[in-house]
Amino acid sequence: MVDALPEVAGSMPQRNQRKLQFQIRCLGTKHGQAVYIVGSAIDLGSWDPKRGVACTTTPQLFPSWKSANITLPPTIQRLEFKVVMQTPSLADSDVKWEDGSNRFVELPVSQACSQQIIVSCEFGKPHVNVELCTVVAASLVPDDHNDDGPFCKQKHTSASLMLEDHPDHMSEPGESEAELGMQTNEAEFSRQTSWPSRNASRHLVTDSQGSFDLEMTRTPSLMLIDAKEFEDAAKQKDIELVELERERLNRIQRRVQSCTLLDEMKSITEYSDPSRTILLQAFNWESWRTGGGDWYGVVSSNIDMFVQSGITDVWLPPCSQSVAPQGYLPSQLFNLDASRYGSQASLQQLLQTLHGVGIRGVADIVINHRCGDRQDSQGRWNVFTSGMQSRASFAGVGDWQGWAVTLGDQYSDGSGQNRPSHLDAKFDAAPDIDHANLAVQQSISVWLRWLRLEVGFDAWRFDFVKGYAATFVGNYCQKSEPAWAVGELWTDMKYDHQGLMHSQDKHRQALCDWINGTGKAAAAFDFTTKGILQEAVRNCEYWRLRDSSGKPPGLLGWWPSKAVTFIDNHDTGSTQKHWPFPSDKVLIGYAYILTHPGIPCIFWDHLVEWSAGCRQSITDLTRARRDSGIPVDAEVRILQAEGDLYLAEIGKPPALRVALGPRSAGRPDESYWSDAARGTHWRVWVHRVDTAPT
C-alpha cells in the first residue's frame, strides 16, 4: 500500500499530471444520503470516511454518481478504495461500507503527458472498470509531430475488469474531457464545441489558480433546476428502488440464510425517527363491518387526509384469517384472503400507496395465542395449519400441533416443552403459544419476514405482550428488521378509597422493565399517561400532571423515546369502551400528547369519523409539533400544575407552550410566542422563530 505524496503547486500544470475521477452506480441510497469514496491515498481520506471524496448526482444521472477530478502524483502505482454511503453530516453511525474486500486499481506510471483516469464500479459488486485518456501534443504542432509540449490532445485506452450489468454510462454524449477540449493553458481556451441539445446552461469555470474546473464546467446550471422537483424526483426514485429490492428479496427469502437475508433487508428498511413519528391507528372495533368487506379500500381513500394531518405511520388491523372478525383470534397466519378486512391484494395495494406518500405501514402482530384449525383425537383445538398455498418453499411453516401449546393450558396435549412463566398472563379464549419452543420461534420469524417482504409492512405493533416474555419480542424484532416496534402492555394501575393514586411509579416502572426486556428493541404504549391524563381532565385535577420530581407522571416522563402516548384505541374506546377517555375532553388530551415528548398515536375515530372541527384541531396540533421541531425527548418545564390549570413549556430553548384547564394562563410574551391552536379549555403557542429541522 503506497500513500499519496503531497503535490507541488506551480504556475503551470505538470506535464505528467494524472487526474482521477470515480463514477459509481449505487441503487441503495436513501433520501438524505450521499456516496463517498474512501481509500488508501491521502486524497481519498486515508480510510477515514469523514475525509473521503464526495460524489454527486442529478435526476438525469441517478442512480449514477460522479466525483470531482482528483489530481494524483506520479508516485502512486496502486490505489485501494471502497465505496460508502452516508449522510452529509458524516456521523459515524450513518456510514454504510460496502461488503467484501477492498477494491484496487493498478495505475499506469505517467512518463510525459497528462492523463485522465476514469474508474467506474457498482456498489456491492466486485468488478471495476478503468478508462485511461492520455494527452498527446496537439495545438501548436502538426498531429504527426513528436512533441510532448504543454498543448495536448487526448487519446483513450481502457483497462480490464469490466463492470457487469452496467447499462447506465456515467458520462453523457459529447461530454468527455476530450470533447470539451480542455487546454491546460492559463491564458487561453480556444476550441469550438458543439454542445448536445439539452435544457441546461453550460459555463467555462476556472478555479482559484486559473485552471479549468472540468466537473463544474460540464454540470448543468443549478439555477435552472427546480429544487422541489429534484427532491420529489429523488424521493420517488428511492421508493421505486426500495420496491424493486423488496421484490428481489421476497423471491429469494426461503433460499438464503436468514442472517444474509436480514443483512440485505437493512438496505430497504426506513428506520423511524421517533422525533418525527406520528402514528395513526387506522381502524376501530367495528371496522370489519365497513367498506363491503374491503376496509383497506376505506383506509386508502383517506390517505390525502393522513398526509395533511402529518401522519407518518399507519397501524392496520390484524391481517390473518381469524375466528373472530376483528382479527384477534388468528388461525391461519399466511391466509390473508380470509380476513374480514379485505384481500391480500387489496392490503398490498394499500401499503404501496402509503409508501408512495412516505407513510409506513404497521402490522398488528397477534402471537400470544392462536386458534387451531382442527381438533386432535381428544377433541382439543390444537392442530394448526399455515394457510400458505401459493409458495411451495413455505410448506410446513406454521403447521403446528399440541407441542406448540404451553404445558398446563386447557388446549395442551402434554407434548409441549415449557410451562408459561409465573409472570405471563393467561388468555383463556385460545391456546397460549409456547414461545420458548425453537420451532415456534422459527415459524413466527419466517412469517414476520414474509409480512415485510411479500406483503409490504414496515413495522410491528405487538398485541397482549403481558402473555409472554419481553425477550421474545426482542428476538422477533431481531429476526425481522422492522422500522420500529411497539408493544401493548396493559396492566392495572393503583387505586385507593379516593380513586386513582397520585403516584403511579410502579405502573410506569413495569413499562420500563418490559422495554428493557426486549433489549430496547420496542417501545411501549404509555398506559400510565393515558390513565393519569384522563383522570386529570375528567375531574379538573391538573395537579396530577406533575410527579414528585417535577416531571410528566407517565412513561414519557422517564423514557420518552420509548413512550407511545395515546388517548383511546379499539379496546379502550370505540364501541367496547373498556376504559374510555372523556369524550368532551378528547381535544384537551390531544393538546397534551401532541405537544409533549414521546411518540403520539391518534385514533381513527377522532381524526376521521368525528367532526371536521375535531380533525382540524388535531391537524393544527400536529402542525405545531412539526413546526416547533421538538425532539422526542424534549425537556418539559412545568410552570403550573394546579386543580384548574396546567401550564408548561416544551423544548430547550422553549419551542412549544401549552395551557390546559378552565383557568386563563394569561398572555405570554408575544415577541416570543405566537398562537398555534386553541379550543375549549386548551391553548397552544409556538415559538415565532422556525426551529424545525431543515
Range of lowest pLDDT (38-52, 334-348, 375-389, 474-488): 38-52
- Which residue, 503, 507, 476, is CA-closest to 490? 507
pLDDT at residue 415, rounded to an integer: 96
Asked whether the predicted pLDDT for residue 161 surpasses 50, the reply is: no
Q: Angle CA(590)–CA(359)–CA(518) in degrees, nearest 5?
A: 75
652 in a domain, yes or no? no
> Averaged over 641-660, what is the pLDDT?
97
171 in a domain, yes or no? yes
pLDDT at residue 59, rounded to an integer: 76
Q: Identify the burial level of 146 via C-beta atoms within 10 angstroms of its C-beta, where 0-12 means exposed, 13-18 middle and 19 or more buried.
A: exposed
- Which residue, 279, 359, 273, 284, is CA-closest to 566? 279
- Which residue, 431, 441, 447, is CA-closest to 375? 431
What is d(CA 668, CA 685) in angstroms, rounded to the nearest whole number? Answer: 9
Q: What residues contact 518, with CB distance under 8 A and at least 6 apart? A: 470, 471, 473, 474, 477, 485, 487
151 in a domain, yes or no? yes
210 in a domain, yes or no? no
Banded model confidence at residue 30, pLDDT cuts 50, 70, 90: confident
- Number of structural domains in the chain: 1
More confident: 237 or 363 = 363
Residues with catalytic function: 463, 488
Asked whether the predicted pLDDT for residue 457 surpasses 80, the reply is: yes
pLDDT at residue 207, rounded to an integer: 56
Give the domain extent around 41: 18-183
Banded model confidence at residue 1, pLDDT cuts 50, 70, 90: very low
pLDDT at residue 212, rounded to an integer: 53
Structure confidence by residue, pLDDT tens digits, 558-612: 999 999 999 999 999 999 999 999 999 999 999 999 999 999 999 999 999 999 9
Structure confidence by residue, pLDDT tens digits, 116-156: 889 999 988 888 888 887 655 444 344 444 444 433 444 45
What is d(CA 287, CA 295) in angstroms, rounded to the nearest whole number? Answer: 7
How many helices (H) and strands (E) in the chain? 15, 26
What is d(CA 92, CA 48) in angstroms, rounded to the nearest whole number? Answer: 10
pLDDT at residue 179, rounded to an integer: 35
pLDDT at residue 110, rounded to an integer: 54
Residue % of the chain over a pLDDT of 70:
81
What average pLDDT is seen over the chain?
86
pLDDT at residue 40, rounded to an integer: 87
pLDDT at residue 133, rounded to an integer: 74
Banded model confidence at residue 306, pLDDT cuts 50, 70, 90: very high
Contact between 615 and 677 under an 8 Å Cβ cutoff? The reply is no
611 in a domain, yes or no? no
Asked whether the predicted pLDDT for residue 189 surpasses 80, the reply is: no
pLDDT at residue 72, rounded to an integer: 79
- The upper half-sphere exposure of residue 70, i.e. CA atoms within 13 Å in the direction of its Cβ, equals 28
pLDDT at residue 74, rounded to an integer: 75
Q: What residues contact 512, with CB distance under 8 A and at least 6 apart? A: 555, 558, 559
> Averaged over 12-25, what is the pLDDT?
73
Banded model confidence at residue 177, pLDDT cuts 50, 70, 90: very low
- Which residue, 527, 556, 690, 567, is CA-closest to 635? 556
What is d(CA 524, CA 488) in angstroms, rounded to the nearest whole number? Answer: 6
C-alpha cell belonging to residue 576: 367496547
199 in a domain, yes or no? no
Structure confidence by residue, pLDDT tens digits, 207-254: 555 555 555 555 555 555 677 787 778 878 888 889 999 999 999 999
3-state secondary structure of 488: coil
We report the CATH number of the domain holding residue 140 as 2.60.40.10
- For 115, the enclosing helix (H) or strand (E) is strand 115-122
Structure confidence by residue, pLDDT tens digits, 462-519: 999 999 999 999 999 999 999 999 999 999 999 999 999 999 999 999 999 999 999 9
pLDDT at residue 76, rounded to an integer: 80
564 in a domain, yes or no? no
Q: Look at strands 128-137 and 115-122 and give their pairing.
A: antiparallel
95 in a domain, yes or no? yes
More confident: 384 or 117 = 384
pLDDT at residue 165, rounded to an integer: 36
